[in-house]
Chains A and B, each alone.
Chain A
Amino acid sequence: MYIKINNNHIELIKSANPYLIFATIFVFIIGLYYSLFQSPPDYIQGDSMRIMYIHVPSAWFALMTYSILAGSCVLWFITRNPLFNVVARSIAQVGMVFTLMSLITGSIWGKPTWGVWWVWDARLTSMLILFFLYIAYIFLWQAISNKELASKISAALAIIGFINIPIIKFSVDWWNTLHQPASISKLSTPSIDISMLIPLFIMTIACFLFLVTVSLIRFRLVLIENKMLRTIN
Chain B
Amino acid sequence: MNELLDMGGYAIFVWSSYGIFFFSLVIFFLINILNLRKYEKIFNKTKKKID
Instruction: Give the CA-CA distance A93 to B18 in the complex, in Å.
Output: 20
A-B contacts at CB below 8 angstroms, number: 85
Q: Does A210 contact B (CB under 8 A)?
A: yes
The 22 listed contacts between A and B (C-beta, < 8 Å) are A32-B18, A41-B8, A46-B8, A46-B9, A47-B9, A47-B14, A48-B8, A48-B14, A51-B18, A93-B28, A97-B24, A101-B21, A101-B24, A105-B17, A109-B13, A109-B17, A112-B13, A213-B29, A217-B33, A225-B39, A228-B39, A231-B50
Nearest CB in chain B to that of A108: its residue: B17
6 A-B pairs with the lowest CB-CB distances in the bound complex, closest first: A47-B8, A48-B10, A47-B7, A46-B8, A224-B39, A51-B17
For the complex, is A144 an interface residue (Cβ under 8 Å from B)? no
Whether A48 and B13, one on each chain, are in contact in the complex, defined by CB atoms closer than 8 angstroms, is: yes
A97 and B14 contacting across the interface, CB-CB below 8 Å:
no
- Distance, CA A206 to CA B28, complexed state (A): 16
Most buried by A among B14, B16, B46, B50: B14
Q: Which residue of A lies closest to B44 (CB)?
A: A224
Query: How large, as a class, is the contact surface on chain A?
Result: 35 or more
- Interface residue count for B (Cβ, 8 Å)? 28
Residues of B with C-beta under 8 A to A41: 8
Given contacts A41-B8, A46-B8, contact A97 B25 (CB under 8 A): yes
B46 to chain A, nearest CB (A): 6
Given A221-B36, A224-B36, CB of A54 within 8 Å of CB of B43 = no
Q: Which of A55, A101, A104, A231 contacts B46 (CB 8 A)?
A: A231
Question: Majority SS of interface residues in chain B?
Answer: helix
* Distance from B38 Cβ to chain A, minimum over Cβ atoms (Å): 9
A93 to B28, CA, bound (A): 9
Q: Out of B22, B32, B40, which one reaches A214, CB within 8 Å?
A: B32
Q: For the complex formed, measure the closest distance between the CB of A131 and the CB atoms of chain B, giving whole angstroms.
A: 13
* Chain A interfacial positions (CB closer than 8 Å to B): 28, 32, 36-37, 41, 46-48, 50-51, 54-55, 58, 93-94, 97, 100-101, 104-105, 108-109, 111-112, 210, 213-214, 217-218, 220-221, 224-225, 227-228, 231
With both chains docked as a complex, state the minimum distance between the C-beta of B35 and any C-beta of chain A, in angstroms: 6
Are B43 and A228 in contact, with the CB atoms below 8 A?
A: yes
When distances are taken between beta carbons in the complex, the residues of chain B under 8 Å from A220 are 36
Alpha-carbon separation in the docked complex, A108 to B16 (Å): 8
Instruction: Find chain B residues with CB under 8 A from A97 CB.
Output: 24-25, 28
- Asked if B32 contacts A36 (CB within 8 A), the reply is no
A41-B8, A101-B21, A231-B46 are known contacts. Are A218 and B40 too (CB-CB below 8 A)?
Answer: no
Instruction: Tell me the minimal C-beta distance from B24 to chain A in angstroms.
Output: 6
CB-nearest residue of chain B to A50 = B14
